[in-house]
Amino acid sequence: MAAKGFRGPRQVWNAFLWSMKGLRAGWRHEASFRLEACLAVVLIPLGLWLGRGGLEKFALILAPMLVLSAELLNSAIEAVVDKVSPEFHELAGRAKDMGSAAVFVLLVLVVLSWALILGPRLVV
């Protein structure tokens, strides 16, 4: 008998499948996620190519990945809020706005990290 809390190969596989289901749902139902995913498909290889050394490459690909993660979490918050509170409520609106703000902050991080890392190379 497996110890309580043991996650064997089947549980790990199921967790992977649920994650893929979440990514598909994000792609299918969220236009913002699709747009940001397309941006990440361009920025991540570009960051790997333009970054000098491991830390720069990591910083250039981390920011777009964080945007995708935040967008998925924001979409999850919006879905739960819409399910629990279909009518307008100030707190529901605040939760949605704050989720959106989290994505915005990370988009600013993308711009700042790319500008700070690559900007000095463009100014000669």
Instruction: Give the per-residue pLDDT at 87.
Output: 86
| 100 is annotated as contributing to ligand binding | yes
The 10s digit of each residue's pLDDT in 98-122 is 999 999 999 999 999 999 999 888 7
List the chain domain ranges.
31-122
Prediction pTM value: 0.85
Residue 4 clears pLDDT 70, i.e. is over it: no
> For position 79, what pLDDT does the model report?
94
Kindly list the catalytic residues: 71
27: annotated binding-site residue?
Answer: yes
**CATH architecture of structural domain 31-122:** Orthogonal Bundle (1.10)
- pLDDT digits 0-9 by tens, 35-91: 999 999 999 999 999 999 999 999 999 999 999 999 999 999 999 999 998 888 898
What 57-65 contacts at long range (C-beta under 8 Å, 24+ apart), as own/partner pairs, is 59/113, 59/117, 60/113, 60/114, 60/117, 60/118, 62/113, 63/106, 63/109, 63/110, 63/113, 63/114, 64/36, 64/39, 64/40, 64/110, 65/40
Determine whether the annotation assigns residue 71 to a binding site.
Answer: yes
